[in-house]
Structure 1
Amino acid sequence: MSTPTSNVQAPDQLPWDPNCERFPSRKELPEIPGAPKDAAWVWGKDDAVSGCPFLKRFIQDCDSNALQLGRLNLLTPARVKEAAKEIISGEMFRLDLPLHIPEAPAFGRECFHHDIKEVVEDVVFDDTYTLNTQSSTQWDGFRHFAHLESKTFYNNVHPATTIKTTPTTLSIHHWATHGITSRAILLDYYTYHTTTHPAPYDPYTTHRITLRALTLCAASQGIDLRPVHQGGDIRPGDILLIRSGFVDRYHSLTPAQRGEVSRRSHEDLTFAGLSQDEDMLDWLHDCYFAAVAGDSPTFEAWPPAKEGGYMHQQILALWGMPIGEMWDLEALAARCREVGRWGVFLTSAPANVLGGVGSHANATAIM
């Protein structure tokens, strides 16, 4: 294992030390033999996958049960302890929608089903759930989306030889075992846009949130979106939350309108979200967020502006950064606006499912 001599991580000093305070930019990422451009498969023993020859040079004891955490490695005890300073009033905000919402999920995904079983008449009851983990508030795990050109998942994992046959590799249970707890920064872009433009946009359309627009939104909240080493407010290991207005818009639709949206084909679905521009990708990478999440079903603007330009492949497959979707940020955003404070303590407990692809977030923000 490498031992850094300063708090700045050298790009080619593998594996990287998550305790550093400054990490390489996207343009400074090391070239890893056999990996696609932009791959940041760098974290070492607690992140490595068995069978990765380029990491075995540095980690002799890598095995098939090693944790695969990606950017969650940044959630060190020191950062979690520091994040707890965001707790001032002790107010709690659950960030998960009820499991049955949306009533008809997008992309043709299965609806949530809940059954109650009477075990002993009038005395004992059980219940069972049937669900798709992508049907409501969720984490996209590293098994969810590959790098399209190479068809490799995070850390050079190939689906036919690993994901379909080895339940421990890139499984969501690693996140559950480690835990997800950090400071979260909420950007209420929907309110910002509504107050600065003549008419609000529809979150059910492909509204592309650019980095410039997001920066102006943050400035209106008193937040500097630059990384802390550049004089900004974003610290390594923070979790980014984006309110684009999807949940608010969902609740304004009639059941018939919601059903109409759910019946659209993949080609016809449109949602607001972050633009896939290069400056946005640079910023998302260079801030070293531990994870990102939003209230829309896709986080990124849908569909992308160009064919194959899915941000999911960079965030999940190349950088190992969890993506949350359909998070309920309504009550939290309202309270943050009332008190003028946008940093919160966030904790999430993904499902402890061996081989799991994704999970409902089970997330709570504490102010």
Structure 2
Amino acid sequence: MFSLALPLDRLGPMRGGGPRVNPQHVMLRTPHDPIPGRDDDGLQRAADDAVYMPLQCSTQWDAFCHIFYDGVTYGGAPADSITTLDGAARNSITNLGERALGRGVLLDLARHRGAQTLLPGEAIQAEDLAACAEKQGVEVGAGDFLLVRTGHLESRRTTGDWADFAGGPAPGLGVGAAEFLCERGVTAVASDTWGLEAIPFETPDLMSPLHVILLVNAGIYIGEMWDLEALAADCADDGVYEFFLIAQPLMVTGATGTPLNPLAIK
């Protein structure tokens, strides 16, 4: 069993400023604090804590309502289906709910190309995914959860400095990858990069073009910042690149994304 999640703490990859910050974990009380209303000379104590975190600051799912194009998102849901008070009335990540489990497939593009990591800006297209799957001897089919390893997360983590991992130049899927994903009818695609897509984007006039294709048009969930290293090493060792994946979202009503602890079981 392999956990594919990054730790939720202040040392995470959100170092670039902006609204997405690393989780802030605070203690509400410690065993040094008396329990109100109890006078037992310190015999009994308790600890409680809390966390503040953007829902997309670490290992995550993007909901369909994360991206809008020309005023709508998946299924024609308009922009006013999201409000400041209630969040998303349609296409919330809670729709994934109990359905976020099934056959997972890893395509290890870094090992396929004989590299520790793919280079920033290096785009993975449909033919690259197909060639990697053929070499690994695995098929990607309808309903699968496809995981794509670039090595980018591990290359930054091992330096001890996340630097511009969040939002900076990165390898990832190119627009052409949509052909592979849509033809096979996958449920979701996740990777070990901050934004799934190759950055700089292939479309200078459009930010995150693959997000638009997958979330707005195709209805394919996107996972980002998944830690695939241990799983990839095991797959390379035994030559088995398929597994059972459990990746339930937190059931935050109206959320456009969610942190999670995906588990791959071989």
Give the Å deviation of 1:154: 1.1
| 2:85 is the alignment partner of 1:163 | no
- 2:27 aligned partner: 116
Q: Is the 8 A contact 2:122 2:171 kept in 1?
A: yes
C-alpha distance in 2 between matches for 1:127 and 1:103: 22
- 1:189 aligned partner: 109
For the residue of structure 1 that corresponds to 2:61, the secondary structure is strand
C-alpha distance in 1 between matches for 2:111 and 2:249: 29
Runs of 4+ in 1 over 6 A off after TM superposition: none
TM-score by length of 1: 0.63
Alignment of 1:59-70 (within 5 A): none
Letter in 2 for 1:144: H
C-alpha distance in 2 between matches for 1:166 and 1:330: 34
For the residue of structure 2 that corresponds to 1:362, the secondary structure is coil
C-alpha distance in 1 between matches for 2:26 and 2:99: 29
More deviation, 121-130/346-355? 121-130
C-alpha distance in 1 between matches for 2:151 and 2:197: 13
Alignment of 1:143-292 (within 5 A): 143-147=65-69, 150-159=70-79, 161-164=80-83, 167-176=88-97, 178-194=98-114, 202-203=118-119, 205-223=120-138, 233-255=139-161, 258=162, 260-261=163-164, 269-277=168-176, 280-292=177-189
TM-score by length of 2: 0.86
- 1:128 aligned partner: 50
Alignment of 1:308-327 (within 5 A): 308=206, 310-327=209-226
- 1:304 aligned partner: 201
Give the Å deviation of 1:254: 3.1
C-alpha distance in 2 between matches for 1:157 and 1:310: 19
Q: 1:354 to 1:242 in 2, by over 3 A?
A: same
- 2:7 aligned partner: 98
Cα displacement string for residues 274-308 of structure 1 (whole angstroms, at most 9, x for unaligned residues):
1113xx32221110001111111111111221222
Q: Is the 8 A contact 2:87 2:255 kept in 1?
A: no
For the residue of structure 2 that corresponds to 1:220, the secondary structure is helix
Letter in 1 for 2:73: F
Letter in 2 for 1:170: N
Give the Å deviation of 1:219: 2.2
Q: Is the 8 A contact 1:157 1:163 kept in 2?
A: no
Paired residue total: 249
For the residue of structure 1 that corresponds to 2:146, the secondary structure is strand
For the residue of structure 1 that corresponds to 2:235, the secondary structure is helix
Letter in 1 for 2:4: L
Q: Is the 8 A contact 2:108 2:148 kept in 1?
A: yes
Q: Is the 8 A contact 2:64 2:92 kept in 1?
A: yes
For the residue of structure 2 that corresponds to 1:143, the secondary structure is helix
Cα displacement string for residues 115-162 of structure 1 (whole angstroms, at most 9, x for unaligned residues):
012164371011101111111100001121112xx2211111111x21
C-alpha distance in 1 between matches for 2:243 and 2:255: 28
RMSD: 2.1
Q: Which has the higher strand share?
A: 2
| 2:253 is the alignment partner of 1:354 | yes
Q: Greater relative contact order: 1 or 2 (C-alpha under 8 angstroms, separation 6 or more)?
A: 2
Give the Å deviation of 1:212: 2.4
C-alpha distance in 1 between matches for 2:159 and 2:118: 12
Structure 1's unaligned 5+ residue stretches are 1-91, 224-232
- 1:19 aligned partner: none
Give the Å deviation of 1:202: 4.9
Cα displacement string for residues 168-215 of structure 1 (whole angstroms, at most 9, x for unaligned residues):
322222222x331110110111112125xxxx5554x11111222222
C-alpha distance in 1 between matches for 2:225 and 2:261: 12
Give the Å deviation of 1:235: 2.4
Q: 1:105 to 1:141 in 2, by over 3 A?
A: farther
For the residue of structure 1 that corresponds to 2:190, the secondary structure is strand
Structure 2's unaligned 5+ residue stretches are 35-41
Q: Is the 8 A contact 1:207 1:271 kept in 2?
A: yes
- 1:27 aligned partner: none
- 1:333 aligned partner: 232
Give the Å deviation of 1:325: 0.3
Letter in 1 for 2:2: F
Letter in 1 for 2:14: A
